[in-house]
Amino acid sequence: MKVLVIGGGAREHALCRSLSLDPDVTDLYCAPGNAGIGEVAELYPVDALDGEAVARLATELEAGLVVVGPEAPLVAGVADAVRAVGIPCFGPSREAAALEGSKAFAKDVMAAAGVPTARSYICTTPEEIDEALDAFGAPYVVKDDGLAAGKGVVVTGDLDKAREHALACGGRVVIEEFLDGPEVSLFAITDGETVVPLTPAQDFKRALDGDEGPNTGGMGAYSPLPWADPKLVDEVMATVLQPTVDELHRRGTPFSGLLYAGLAITSRGVRVIEFNARFGDPETQVVLARLQTPLAGLLLHAAQGTLDLEPPLRWRDDAAVTVVVASHNYPDTPRTGDPIEGLDEVAAQDAPHAYVLHAGTKRDSDAIVSAGGRVLSVTATGKDLAQARERAYRAVARIRLDGSQHRTDIARKAAGE
């Protein structure tokens, strides 16, 4: 099978790595990719947001499957454009991707499907904003309705800051009840009817150790979650994933692709914080590190509506940890263009248990330089989280990137340290 992956972050590198290890994949392409993806796939400098261009490339390459990684192309209808030329595509339609593209739409679907989530108000005027903030009280949760790369949400005890963010969003704002308790990311593969859950992971959204600092796209992740209730996946399947997929099917806008449930395990039970319409980054790096089932066939079944034929997924017993190495000044105004050194040392000394997935990187003649906020996702497996953590951080220590930052506490508590 020839597979074309769309995107160029560490999530796409993780997808490409797993696809490259799948014996059914004969040729692997990625657009636009990055320096690391270029080692396992042939790169094409096509704009991921241009559906026509992506469909043309997929046709020229005679791809048997296109996998769309990021949310922006999905919300822009790239999966629809690929399907329109008769090529199976893993990723929801533009209409179904609104589950991520509009928080107000997601709230409406959840209400109709009886899915537990934070109570919320959708506000458009300063008066409505003040009323909603007053109704819930502190801590305040204020979200931009549209896509904001994980940076549109402010959670604060400060009423002035909450109001300021709400007004700065400019359009529709979602103000909601604060959810306490740990967060879990649970992904499910679906063809619009059948739903196959993956294994839960936990993401670290704040920039600094101890969950301090600003929200980011994610600074690290681990799986499995030793502290979670073993019945969690079954419960979320029954109360969240299947009802949501059924509701979108009932509306005539079936969701096929990856449904990402961001959950809070609150004192009053599981609640959905958000849905995403694609694999999470960096959670995918640890989830795929543990998935034993070949990836291409699974994604193709979802794309073709035959997921009911997929045998039960197989998982490694190993634990996995990923640590994001970010550039100077991420998430505000990340500095780019800095050379990255030490990648060869990781490959020579830490493989196969630890490896580097590239996010914002590019080739600059012989060097690899930073080209984004999140630069690398250093991933490791081990017999337990403590060993995976040790291996990941040993590899991180070999990387030299001027001004870079990473959290030192990824999976620390879960590993019992």
Q: At what angle do helices 242-250 and 94-101 cross, to 10 degrees?
A: 130
Rounded Cα–Cα distance for residues 133 and 129 (Å): 6
Pick what 3 binds: ligand GLY, ligand AMP, none; C-beta below 5 to 8 Å, kind-dependent: none
331 binds, among ligand AMP, ligand GLY, none (CB under 5 to 8 A by kind): none
Please report how many Cα atoms fall inside a 13 Å half-sphere around the Cα of residue 191, on the Cβ side.
Answer: 16
User: Cβ closer to ligand GLY: 80 or 203?
Assistant: 203
Check residue 280 for interaction with ligand AMP (CB under 6 A).
no
Residue 177 C-beta: closest distance to ligand AMP, Å: 6
The burial class, CB within 10 Å (0-12 / 13-18 / 19+), for 62 is exposed
Decide: 334 and 372 in contact? Cβ < 8 Å: yes
Q: Which stretch binds ligand AMP (CB under 6 A): 147-155, 164-172, 226-234, 359-367?
A: 147-155
Residue 141 contacts ligand AMP per CB under 6 A: yes
Six-digit token string for 125: 């005027």
Give helix then strand counts, H and E, for the chain: 14, 24
Strand partners of residue 128:
none
CA neighbor of 98 nearest in space, from 274, 242, 315:
274
Asked if 72 interacts with ligand AMP (CB under 6 A), we say: no
Number of residues near ligand AMP (by CB under 6 A): 16
Q: Which of ligand AMP, ligand GLY, none has residue 42 at its interface (CB below 5 to 8 Å by kind)? A: none
Would you state the structure tokens that stand for residue 105, as one six-digit string? Answer: 């739409």
CB of 307 to ligand AMP, least distance (A): 26
Which residues lie near ligand GLY (CB under 6 A)?
150, 203, 218, 276, 280-281, 283
Nearest residue (CB) to ligand GLY, 260 versus 393? 260
Q: Does 105 help bind ligand AMP (rule: CB under 6 A)?
A: no
Closer to ligand GLY by Cβ: residue 243 or 262: 262
Residue 231's Cβ-count burial label (10 Å; 0-12, 13-18, 19+) is exposed
Q: How far is the CB of 87 from ligand AMP (least distance, A)?
A: 31
Binders of ligand AMP in range 243-262 (CB under 6 A): 262
DSSP letters for 256-276: -EEEEEEEEEETTEEEEEEEE
Distances (CA, A) of 79 to 60, 69, 196, 283: 17, 10, 20, 22
Q: Going residue by residue from 114 to 133, which x/- string records binding to ligand AMP, judged by CB under 6 A? A: ----x---------------
Binding range to ligand AMP, per CB under 6 A, among 6-14, 164-172, 177-185, 295-303:
177-185
The tokens describing 264, both together, are 């809070």
Q: Which is nearer to ligand AMP, 177 or 193 (CB)?
A: 177
407 binds ligand AMP (CB under 6 A): no
398 binds, among ligand AMP, ligand GLY, none (CB under 5 to 8 A by kind): none
Under rule CB under 6 A, residue 215 binds ligand AMP: yes
Q: How far is 94 from 81, CA to CA, in rounded Å?
A: 10
Interface with ligand AMP, residue 108, by CB under 6 A:
no
Residue 283 contacts which entry, ligand AMP, ligand GLY, none (Cβ below 5-8 A, type-dependent) = ligand GLY
Indicate which of ligand AMP, ligand GLY, none lies near residue 153 (CB less than 5 to 8 Å, by partner kind).
ligand AMP
Is residue 169 a contact residue for ligand AMP (CB under 6 A)? no
Q: Name which of 125, 222, 206 is nearest 167 in CA terms.
A: 125
Among 178, 182, 363, 394, binds ligand AMP (CB under 6 A): 178
What's the closest the beta carbon of residue 1 comes to ligand AMP, in angstroms?
A: 33
What are the residues whose beta carbons fall under 8 Å from the beta carbon of 287, sequence distance 6 or more? 187, 198, 199, 201, 223, 279, 320
How far apart, in whole angstroms, are the C-alpha atoms of residue 29 and residue 61?
9
Residue 58, phi then psi, degrees to nearest 5: -60, -40
Q: Determine, following the binding rule CB under 6 A, whether residue 155 of this chain makes contact with ligand AMP.
A: yes
Helix boundaries (H) for 35-125:
51-60, 71-75, 78-84, 94-101, 103-113
- Residue 280 binding partner per list ligand GLY, ligand AMP, none, with a CB distance cut-off of 5 to 8 Å that depends on partner kind: ligand GLY
Bridge partners (DSSP) of residue 305 are none
Q: Taking the C-alpha atoms of 75, 76, 77 and 81 in order, what is their torsion angle to the nearest 10 degrees? A: -150
According to CB under 6 A, which one of 22, 71, 80, 176 is a site residue for ligand AMP?
A: 176
Site for ligand AMP contains 205 (CB under 6 A): yes
Interface with ligand AMP (CB under 6 A): 118, 141, 143, 150, 153, 155, 176-179, 183, 205, 215, 262, 273-274
